[in-house]
């Protein structure tokens, strides 16, 4: 079995973001980068499946981006992936999800992966398109937002999260692609010896120009912080009334009471 995990490197979301000089994305100077949270679930699930199958599957981890993404790839290797592919693109942030998926598909086509794991979405762009678009280009089945994963005899059973806290079980045959959501698993910490050993694993660098021949289908025209909203909601009146109002707000606007 051959497994592909697609990961993206994103800034620490606690950072202060400023637009870049072109005003179409954030400036990445002074930002600390790490693996996209949802992609950690993807890596973990792939490695767990490898362990379940006695180490037989080969797990390849891929990232599109500038050279700094090698750090994220090394983390995935330290967590247990076998080899890595960097689709080298210093301008990945200017590509739309269609182009990113096309570049990955161009690599994946020749490799005949049985299973592909991606994150549900990236924490910075949040398009949630790359996984499903990749599956469509490859012509394989896909399921999004998985919170449970089982594999047996070429067949995958996943649990999905639906609106309002409902769940669904979905079965599909390989080859297939799944996009991973919070709650799927608890990603392991890479051990220090494994971080050091990952140095010896293969990291293949492929210039994006060799893989991507598609034009963008959408462009980000500008990147900006919304004007600051003033104040919050101030509840007034009798305490009992205020409590009811608060409960209504929590019920309508948040998930804490669901």
Partner 1 sequence: MNLELTEEQKLIQETARQFAAERLAPIAARLDLEGDRESFLANLKELACLGFMGLNVSQTYGGSETGSVAFSLAITELARACASTAVTVSVNNMVCELIQSVGSEEQKQRYLPRICSGSYPAASFALTEPGAGSDAAALATRAEPDGAGWRLSGTKVFITSAPYAGVFVVWAVTDPAAAKGGGISCFLVEAGTPGLVVGREELKTGQRASATNEVLLENCRVPAEALLGRLNDGYRIAMSELAGGRIGIGSLALGVGLAAMDFATSYASQRVQFERKLVEFEALQWMIADSYTELEAARLLLMNAAFRKETGKSFAKEASMAKLFASDAANRACYKAVQMLGGYGYTASYPVERFARDARITSIYEGTNEIQRLIIAREVLRSFS
Q: Which is nearer to partner 1, 48 or 194 (CB)?
A: 194
Applying CB under 8 A, does 71 fall inside the site for partner 1? Answer: yes
Looking only at the bridges linking them, the beta strands covering 58-65 and 141-152 are unpaired
Question: Which one of 193, 227, 231, 237 is in contact with partner 1 (CB under 8 A)?
Answer: 193
Looking only at the bridges linking them, the beta strands covering 176-180 and 115-119 are parallel
Tokens of 40: 């950690």
Q: Which is nearer to partner 1, 75 or 159 (CB)?
A: 75
* 206 and 87 Cβ atoms separated by less than 8 Å: yes
Looking up tokens 């660098």 gives 205
Applying CB under 8 A, does 85 fall inside the site for partner 1? Answer: no
Judged by CB under 8 A, the stretch of 41-49, 70-78, 90-98, 106-114 that binds partner 1 is 70-78
Judged by CB under 8 A, the stretch of 110-118, 188-196, 230-238, 248-256 that binds partner 1 is 188-196
Applying CB under 8 A, does 140 fall inside the site for partner 1? Answer: no
Question: Which one of 189, 210, 217, 251 is in contact with partner 1 (CB under 8 A)?
Answer: 189
C-alpha span between 162 and 150 (Å, rounded): 18
Residues whose CB falls within 8 Å of the CB of residue 144, separated by 6 or more in sequence, listed in order? 120, 128, 131, 132, 160, 178, 179
Applying CB under 8 A, does 190 fall inside the site for partner 1? Answer: yes
Q: Which is nearer to partner 1, 73 or 134 (CB)?
A: 73
Q: How many CA atoms lie within 13 A of 11 on its CB side?
A: 16
Binding residues (CB under 8 A) for partner 1: these are: 34, 70-71, 74-75, 78, 189-196, 198-199
């Amino acid at each position: 079995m051959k497994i592909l995990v697609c990961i993206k490197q994103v800034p620490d979301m606690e950072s202060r973001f400023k637009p870049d000089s072109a005003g179409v994305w954030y400036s990445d100077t002074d930002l600390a980068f790490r693996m996209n949270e949802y992609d950690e679930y993807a890596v973990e699930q792939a490695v767990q499946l490898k362990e379940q199958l006695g180490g037989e599957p080969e797990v390849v981890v891929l990232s599109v981006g500038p050279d700094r993404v090698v750090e994220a790839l090394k983390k995935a290797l330290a967590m247990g992936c076998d080899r890595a592919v960097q689709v080298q693109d210093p301008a990945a942030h200017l590509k739309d999800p269609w182009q990113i998926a096309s570049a990955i598909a161009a690599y994946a086509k020749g490799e005949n992966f049985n299973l592909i794991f991606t994150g549900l979405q990236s924490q910075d762009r949040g398009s949630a398109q790359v996984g499903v678009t990749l599956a469509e280009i490859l012509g394989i089945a896909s399921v999004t937002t998985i919170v449970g994963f089982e594999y047996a005899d070429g067949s995958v059973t996943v649990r999905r999260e639906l609106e309002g806290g409902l769940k669904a079980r979905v079965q599909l045959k390989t080859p297939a692609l799944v996009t991973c959501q919070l709650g799927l698993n608890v990603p392991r910490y890479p051990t220090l010896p494994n971080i050091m050993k990952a140095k010896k694993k293969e990291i293949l660098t492929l210039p994006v120009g060799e893989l991507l021949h598609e034009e963008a289908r959408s462009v980000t025209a500008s990147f900006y912080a919304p004007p600051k909203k003033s104040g919050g909601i101030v509840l007034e009146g009798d305490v009992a009334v205020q409590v009811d109002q608060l409960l209504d707000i929590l019920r309508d606007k948040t998930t804490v009471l669901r």
